[in-house]
């Protein structure tokens, strides 16, 4: 068969890239890339038979991109005249700089009409609204799960691959996403509690824990069911409702006793009891526990701190259930529990 040669050259930003495409009538096409600039590097399309997702890397900051055009857009950042005076970061357009400045000013002009939460960009608001609407446009091709944002799908794919690239430098735990690693470090390896509740003064290690706690004061129920009028304070209670009432979602079943759970974490804890694995060890004594909450409660035995106070007589208690029982005897009414931690 006659062989055709098509050669074309085009200019991309500061790059001059020439392509030679040989049409042999077969599915294979050979592409040669020659660059007259040192501002980018082209990587091979395959690595040991596996497709490489990001092919082009920036010589200025080593970021990688899937296409040459994406790299071209990115390189403009390094030569851009739109520079943030607050942190020195550069942007390719004035609009991107305007959005970025909201990080420093704290401005969040986009408000959710359901839960009144505010966002920096309209795109963030669109993603957030999927929590209320239940829309999940990103579907896994290997199972029946769907997700509201693409990053959640990317993280989910690691369930199938088993990949956990984020490793804790302080212990041997690994995580599938960087956010989980940072949360792990704050909760397990740090005693800092920089987030305080403006209603009761209670301190928290993570901002997400503070936001969840604040709902106990405000009574906010940001999670709504799309099948009925029910609303929920917590996302996991919405998931449980969808499973039990509308048969939506996936049950997590124990392979030993067939017991079903709505949350994967509860199943993992349940299996530990079958296998008699107790990973949570007290540093004050040899006792071990199945759950972190059990260890936390146990540690109160080694402490003289009493976090809970009776709202009727002012007596202090170590344990929440003890102050509840005391208050019922003390007043004979529904208890109001305060915490001084």
For the chain, the domain total comes to 3
Q: Are residues 292 and 280 in the same domain?
A: yes
Give the CATH number, domain containing residue 296.
3.30.160.60
- Describe the chain by its helix, strand, coil percentages, rounded to 5: 35, 20, 45
256 assigned to some structural domain: yes
For residues 190 and 168, give the distance between their C-alpha atoms in angstroms, rounded to a whole number: 13
For residues 185 and 159, give the distance between their C-alpha atoms in angstroms, rounded to a whole number: 22
109 assigned to some structural domain: no
Nearest to 92 by CA among 107, 71, 110: 71
Yes or no: say if 17 and 34 are a contact pair by the CB < 8 Å rule: yes
Q: Which pLDDT score is estimated for 51?
A: 41
207 assigned to some structural domain: no
- pLDDT tens sequence across 216-239: 889 999 888 989 999 999 888 998
Range of 317's domain?
306-339
Q: Are residues 289 and 315 in the same domain?
A: no
Six-digit token pair at 162? 């088993």
146 assigned to some structural domain: no
For residues 213 and 202, give the distance between their C-alpha atoms in angstroms, rounded to a whole number: 9
35 assigned to some structural domain: yes
pTM greater than 0.75 (yes/no): no
Nearest to 135 by CA among 41, 224, 259, 33: 224
Lowest mean pLDDT among 34-48, 183-197, 229-243, 316-330: 34-48
Yes or no: say if 57 and 63 are a contact pair by the CB < 8 Å rule: yes
- pLDDT tens sequence across 239-287: 899 999 999 888 899 999 999 998 888 999 999 999 999 988 998 899 9
């Amino acid at each position: 068969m006659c062989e055709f040669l098509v050669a074309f050259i085009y200019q991309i930003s500061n790059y001059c890239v020439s392509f030679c495409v040989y049409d042999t009538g077969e599915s294979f096409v050979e592409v040669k890339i020659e660059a007259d600039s040192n501002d980018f590097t082209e990587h091979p399309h395959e690595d040991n038979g596996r497709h490489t997702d990001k092919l082009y890397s920036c010589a200025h900051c080593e970021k990688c991109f899937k296409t040459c055009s994406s790299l071209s857009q990115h390189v403009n950042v390094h030569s851009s005249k739109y520079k943030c005076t607050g942190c020195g970061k550069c942007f390719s357009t004035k609009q991107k700089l305007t959005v970025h400045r909201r990080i420093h000013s704290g401005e969040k002009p986009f408000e959710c009409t359901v839960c009144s939460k505010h966002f920096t960009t309209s795109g963030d608001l669109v993603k957030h609204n999927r929590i209320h609407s239940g829309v999940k446009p990103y579907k896994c091709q290997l199972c029946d799960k769907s997700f509201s944002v693409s990053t959640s799908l990317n993280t989910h794919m690691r369930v199938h691959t088993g990949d956990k690239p984020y490793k804790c430098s302080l212990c041997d735990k690994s995580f599938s996403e960087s956010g989980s690693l940072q949360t792990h470090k704050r909760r397990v390896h740090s005693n800092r509690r920089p987030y305080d509740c403006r209603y009761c003064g209670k301190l928290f290690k993570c901002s997400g824990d503070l936001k969840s706690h604040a709902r106990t004061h405000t009574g906010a129920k940001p999670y709504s069911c799309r099948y009925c009028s029910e609303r929920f304070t917590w996302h996991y209670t919405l998931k449980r409702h969808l499973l039990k009432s509308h048969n939506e979602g996936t049950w997590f079943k124990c392979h030993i006793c067939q017991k079903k759970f709505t949350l994967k974490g509860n199943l993992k804890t349940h299996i530990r009891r079958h296998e008699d694995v107790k990973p949570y060890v007290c540093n004050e004594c040899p006792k071990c526990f199945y759950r972190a909450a059990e260890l936390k409660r146990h540690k109160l035995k080694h402490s003289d701190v009493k976090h809970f106070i009776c709202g009727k007589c002012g007596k202090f208690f170590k344990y929440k259930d003890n102050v509840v029982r005391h208050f019922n005897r003390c007043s004979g009414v529904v208890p109001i529990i305060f915490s001084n931690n």
